[in-house]
Each structure stands twice: as C-alpha cells, then as structure tokens.
Structure 1
C-alpha cells in the first residue's frame, strides 16, 4: 500500500496549473496591497519577537519535521511533501487569524511579509537541506534531478514579484489599494479553495485509499508546526499576544505554493501532492480551533 502511494500521481492538467500559479500571484498581490514600508519598521521596534518568529519558521519547524519523519518513517514521496510544506513561508490567512485571536497583528504582518520575501531563498535551501538528511528522499531527489535554481525562479515569480508590485501600488494609490484588496483577497482565496476541491474530486479514489494514513501524518506535522512557534515564544519569554502570533504564524503554511512546486517539478507525485492538499484543508481547521481557544485567553 505504501509503495502504491510513492508510485501514484495526481491528475492535474497544465491549464489548471497555470491558473493556480496566477491565483497564488493574485493572492500575494492582494496581501501586498495592505503592506507599507512602516510595517517593516516593527522589526526595528520589536526585534526579539520578530527574529524568534523567523527562527521558529525557518529553523525549528524544518528541524522538527525531520525528527517527525525519522520517527514515523513515511514513504519517500510523503516525506518530500512534509519537507516541502515545512520549507514554505507562512500562509496569508495567518494575519487574519492572528488578529482574530487578539494576537500581535503588526508582528504577524511583518513575519508574513519577511518570510514570503525570504522564501525565494529559504524554501529551495531548506527543502534541499532537510530532504538530504533522510536517505529515501535524498535518493528520490537524485533520480528526479531537481534544479533548485528553477525552484528559486518559480518562487520569485509567484511570490516575490507580486509582493514588490503590491507594495509599490499601495504606496502610490493607497485608496485604490484599500478597495481592491477587499475584492482580490476573498475572490482569489475562494478560487484557490475551488482548486483544492476540484483536485480532491478528480482524485477521489486516491484520497479515499490513503486518507487514513495522510490524516494522521498531517495532524502530527501540523501539531509540530504549531508547537514550533509556541515553544520558541515561551523559551523567549514573549508576551501572550506575541505567543499567539508565533504559534499561528508557524502553524499556517503556504501549502498552495507547495502544490505549485509539486505539480511543476514533481509531476503531481502522489504522496507529496496529497500531503500538501490535505495540509491546505487541515491547517485552516486547526488554525480556527487554536484561534477560538486563544480568544478566551
């Protein structure tokens, strides 16, 4: 059964992939329309909380993912999916959830913006680094002959350019940006949710066959992600608002970016794609659950 998962491929055509790329770029552009240079000044104002957030996102989470992979010993394709999700930046909905949980919204915005921009370098680097520490994934990557420079270009195109353009537009036309983001963000997120549903329905038999295993793996991985932010915040003795923000920021990953990279460079490899797709569903559920709990604190 596990060997079947490694050899399975999700059905997803090139036209759908192009539309998914465009949708993610629009989501990022919509987020950037709300960003100002002043948002990054928070880094100078509260450097401790910010850098602890970066450590949780780009160091602790990938490390805990590696520990989890060694513990559960999943198939190579599943482990690759876990490493890739952990290497991606925080998801855009984290800002909304951080605000809803009465966390530090300014910190959340700064972390999302920085991790998104930094993901151009950190995502290919972390993915290659941690995947090389697990023999099955290291062997699989050798057989695929992945070009990390091409991954870098894809991430820059989907996230980096829309981020810069959105901030430039906001600086010149702030009123238009405020109106546009109210339409772009919900619309693009609904389209992305539609992609996940379509991918699920188009591969229903495959999901049904492996969901019992995938559910437990993603549950454990998402718990590790939430714990990364929470534990780092506690060790750093941050306030409750900052602790909420770091927990949510590392628990919500940009699984949409992971899906784009999987369908672009791994031809929809079953284990990877199912992990990323289920992450896209589950981290919203767990994010709202954690937010509901945090609102009571």
Structure 2
C-alpha cells in the first residue's frame, strides 16, 4: 500500500503560475460584487461579525488541531488539514448561504473581510498550530518555510485582486456591472477545468489514496459546519446569522491552499489531495446543507423556539 506522505503530485511551474493568476481572477470577480458599504455591516452588526471571525480563524483551527490528536493522521495529511483550516472563507459560501436562506449580506462581508485578514491570519494559524503538533513541527523544520514568503503569496493572490475589484466597482460601476457575472462564470469554469486536468494527470494516484483521506476531510468539514452554527447560537444570534456563520466556517478557500502547497511544499501529495478533496466535498456538503435549510424558513424556526 502506498504511503500517503510518499505521494507526489505532478505539477510544473507554468501550471502554478496559471493557478495563481486564475485564483486572483476569481477573487477579482468576487470583489466586483462588493461595495465599500458592504463593510459597514461588520460595524453595524459587530456581534455577528466578531462571532463569524472568531469561529473561522480561532475555533475552527483549534478544532482541527484537536482532531489531529484524536485521528493521528500522517504528517503530510496533518499539514494539509491545518492549512485548509487556516484559509479564509471560500468564494462559494455566499451562494450557498443564499440557498440556505441565511444572512447573505453578512456572508459577503465576512468573506471579503476574512480574505483580507487571511494575509496575517492564515500564516499565523498554520505555523502556530503546526508548532504545537509534534509530527508537523518536525516536518516544518525540515522544509524551513518562511512565513514572510507565505504572507507575500497571499497578498498577491487575495488582497490585491480584492482591492482592485472594489476600486473598479466604486470608480467604474458600469464596466463592473457588465463584466461581473461573465467573469465569475468564466473564471469558475476555467478553475474547474484546470482542476480536472490536474486531477487527470494524477488520476491513478488519486484513486489509490482518496478513500484514505476522505474520512479526515469529512470529519473536519462536518466539525466546521456544526461549530459555526452552535457557536453562533451560543452567542444568541438569530437563525439567519447562525446559518451564515456555519457556512462561512465550513466552506474554506481550498484553491488558496492548493496554490500554497504547490508553491512552498513541492507538490506534497497528501497535502494536495486533502485540499483537492476538500474543494470537491465542501461544495457537495454545503449544497446539501443549504437544501436542507431551504426547506425550513428561518422565521418559522425562530417562532417555534420563542413559542
């Protein structure tokens, strides 16, 4: 049986450069929907906003860290889990929150803010929790990974495209309105096609190990959804906010994770497969959760709880 940490994914530098550009384009397309006013919601609903940020950047990485001690995965798998947990919210979270009848405006604000915050929070969480888990700590020392390099990569991939998108929306609203939807659809289609091509090149490897990493992704993703929802309820937020925070916590930007893996970990196979599997599964699980919630109007749930 193939050892998970011995797996290597075939991925060249031109492919990495294209993935960087593509992810930046996706974030730019998302930012075209944003207005500076969207960030006001973070201050208008500070309790919900703080709860969402804490759930995503503090509680979820901590829960993932606890899962490592319980599941004791191979070091490469543990690295992949920690990296995914350290990433900001995924770009499909807004759509899934809308389907789930959650607070979509809050979701948009949290996604934008978490993407900006990720410049600092993602490297910090990854290195902080990794340094506390001995098997990962050893691997990190061997790799000699510089947090500043990770910081710069996230700056280019996330913050610059988001800033350009917001500025385009503000100063060139007509152009932004025309290209917003086509750009999102086109970039999403190219991203999916790119992942399929990359997967096809490593399909035999993927088939050999997918069943062995899926349980880690499934448990971690489920923990994210449950943690976000019940933490929001503990903070006495309403049902729409709780659904939003659950989805923001359970949907992570695994595309960013893949970029970082190929850029800094030389295609470490088990890490890449965790991120790729997460990217597929969190969308499936998120849509299923949204379908379930769409059958239950938040107002009715609130009424039942009060009565």
CA distance in 1, matches of 2:107, 2:97: 7
Aligned to 1:90: 89
Per the TM alignment, residue 202 of structure 1 is displaced from its structure 2 partner at its CA by 1.0
Post-superposition Cα deviations, 1:5-27, rounded to whole Å, max 9, x if no partner, equal: 11211011111111110010000
Report Cα offsets for 1:95-118 as digits up to 9, x if no partner: 111112111111001100100000
Corresponding residue number in structure 2 for 1:106: 105
Deviation at 1:239, TM superposition (A): 0.7
Q: After TM superposition, list the pairs within 5 Å mapping 1:55-204 onto structure 2.
A: 55-204=54-203
Is the counterpart of residue 282 in structure 1 residue 281 in structure 2? Answer: yes
Instruction: Number of aligned residue pairs: give it.
Output: 296
Indicate the SS of the match to 2:200. helix
Distance 1:189 1:28 in 2: 10
CA distance in 1 between partners of 2:194 and 2:139 (Å): 27
Aligned partner of 1:238 in structure 2 is 237
| Residue number in structure 1 paired with 2:31 | 32
Q: CA deviation at 1:195?
A: 2.0
Determine the C-alpha separation between the residues in 1 that align with 2:16 and 2:114: 24
**Pairwise CA distance, 1:153:** 0.1
Query: In the aligned structure 1, how far is the partner of 2:177 from the partner of 2:68?
Result: 43
Question: Displacement, 1:55?
Answer: 0.4
1:194 match: secondary structure: helix
Name the CA distance, whole Å, in 1 between partners of 2:73 and 2:267: 18
Equivalent in the alignment of 1:16: 15
**C-alpha separation in 2, matches of 1:284 and 1:190:** 15
What is the CA–CA distance in structure 2 between the aligned matches of 1:273 and 1:122, rounded to whole Å? 21
CA distance in 1, matches of 2:17, 2:157: 11
Query: Deviation above 2 Å: which 4+ runs of structure 1?
Result: none
Question: Aligned runs of 1:204-243 on 2, under 5 Å?
Answer: 204-243=203-242
Superposed CA deviations along residues 1-57 of structure 1, whole A, max 9, x for unmatched, are 47x211211011111111110010000000111111110110111110111000000
Structure-1 separation of matches of 2:211 and 2:124: 31
Per the alignment, residue 271 of structure 2 pairs with: 272
CA distance in 2, matches of 1:67, 1:195: 33
How far residue 199 of structure 1 moved from its aligned partner, in angstroms, is: 2.0
Match of 2:303 in 1: none
2: CA distance between counterparts of 1:295 and 1:220? Answer: 23
Instruction: List alignment gaps of at least 5 residues for structure 2.
Output: 297-307
**2: CA distance, partners of 1:208 / 1:99:** 34
Q: Deviations over 1:169-221 (max 9, x none)?
A: 11011121122111111111111111221222111111111111111111111
